Structure formats: C-alpha cells, structure tokens
Amino acid sequence: MTRAALVLAILLAAAGPATAQVPASDTLTIRAKPNDSLALLAAEYYGDRNRAIFIMVANKIVHPRPLKAGERIKIPVSRQVITSPGDTFETLAAAYLGNALRGTFLAEFNNLSPDDTLASGTSLSIPFTVTHTASATESIASIAAAYFGDTKNATMLRQYNFLEKDAIEKGEQLIVPIFNVRLSASKMPSIDADSKARRERQKEVQARAATALPAAKQAWRIGDFGEVKGALAEVELYLDYLDTAQAVDVGVLLGSLHVAFNDTKPALEAFKRVLERKSTHQLSAYQVSPKVLAVWKEAGGTVAP
C-alpha cells in the first residue's frame, strides 16, 4: 500500500470519516474553477499538492475525484490573531483550542516561549484541527505519521489530548492540531482595522524602544536621571506593546528611577509590572544598588546569586 493510500485509509476508515473542526472562521469557501483538482487547490492555497487530504476531510470526500466547475469547496486554514492587551497563551487557547491548558502548545506552534508574556499586536497562528476517529486499535505514533509524515509528534498528540496511553481503541477520537499547514501568503485574508492598528502600534512602539533604551541606559550610567525619564517618556505609555525583553528593561529602569527620587510606591508598581511580564527575572547585586534591590525584593523579585 502506498503512503498516500495508507494516510487516506487511516483518515477515512470504515468507522466513519474523520471530520475537520472547521467553524466558519477556520475555512475559506470557494467555487471550483474549470480544471480545478484537489491537488491543484492544495498547491494554490498551501503551496503543496500533498496537502489535498485536508481539503478532502473538510469536504467529506472519501476518494479523490474530479471537481465540478462551480462546486463549493471548503479550504481549512489556520487562523491569524493579532493579540490585544491582556491576552495570554492560556486565554487564547481556551478561546480557540478548547482548553486553556493548551496554551503551552499554542506558544510552541508559533515558535515562542510559553514562559513569555504576549505583547499587544503580536501575530499568532491558530491551527485548524482534525478529529481522528480510530477504526481499530491505533497507536498514536501511527496517527502522527499519517498526519505529519513521521512519528516525531506522537508525544505532542498524546499530551495535547491529555492522554497517558500510547494508543486509542476503535471508536475513540483524537484531536490533531494541524499547525504545520498554513495558507500561502497570497491567499491570507486581510486583517480587520483594529487588529491592523494594534500591529502597527506594536511595530512603532518597539522601534521607539530600540532607540530609547540604549540612550536611557547610558544616561543612567552617568547619573542623568532627567534624561532617563525623557528617553522613556513615550515608551512608558505603551508597555503592553513591548516584547518581553524590552518591557523588562524599561520597567527595571523606571523602577530604579523612582527609587532614585525616593518614590517608593511607583517604584513598586513598576517592578511588579516587570514580574508580571517575566516572573523569573532577577536583578544582580553586583550591578544594582542596595536601595533598588530592597524595593525590588519588596515587590516580590529575587536577586541572582
């Protein structure tokens, strides 16, 4: 049996075809043009003719067949989300992946660290999912091989489905997140105006921070506190749009600046915001004054040994 036939047999087994979890926001519905085929559509939308199996599953097409001109065809697609202030991997996973505990997977699917917080304006890809129904006892490794071409994602599938076993029995279902299949850039739908504005604001603020931070750090080293405040003034208003590293640097500088002016309360608030963005961040006793360290510890921060 060829690999393509094996894949199709697993996906569309006798127990019933696998069904793609494709709510309206996870599909594009098109009308087939003359001479369109499943393989051509897969190449057009995914850049890979071998991805046609997902179009078949979404449209409950059990065997490859010619498409009729004008036929309505669903194309399953990953969803692009532009984050808002306060979004986390967990809240987004709860909204789009069905369980907040899948936040770690959402981060990893986007090549991000689950330990980092999300800057507003960050673009994330939400994978579409397929529900695989076992026609007999099937190992999770074999299911991973069918969907991903190898067994490397077997552990991910087991953990994603909160399973402690390596196989599923006939009739059991496994949710498969198709994180490695995305729309070709030319087919990506445009984002809404609010999302676009957040994305542009993030780029603008992060660019400003990239210029302001070196100037603020240099001013801090020479004791020019007024210059530190001036350099960070505009960036301070948009901390939610900074990436984690920038937000930490800005927050530590702002907190230290407030300490220098004996303003303990705003210093505590600044340090607490740092810890909200990165709870594991530590200050160094060799680089920070005892006065700053005292307020940092009061905010709940720790000092590197």
pLDDT digits (tens, 9 = 90+) for 49-62: 989 988 998 898 98
Would you give the DSSP letter of residue 11?
Answer: H
pTM of the model: 0.78
CA 95 vs. chain centroid, Å, equals: 13
Q: How far apart are CA 132 and CA 95, in angstroms?
A: 21
**Cβ atoms of 115 and 280 closer than 8 Å:** yes
Question: In this predicted structure, what is the pLDDT of residue 25?
Answer: 56
What would the pLDDT profile of 140-165 be if each residue is shown by its tens digit? 999 999 889 899 999 999 999 999 99
Residue 291 tokens read as 């006065």
The pLDDT of residue 234 is 83
Low pLDDT (below 70) residues in the chain: 1-25
CA atoms within 13 A on the CB side of 79: 21
Q: How far apart are CA 257 and CA 267, in angstroms?
A: 8
* Burial of 304: CB neighbours in 10 Å, binned 0-12, 13-18, 19+: exposed
Mean pLDDT of the chain: 88
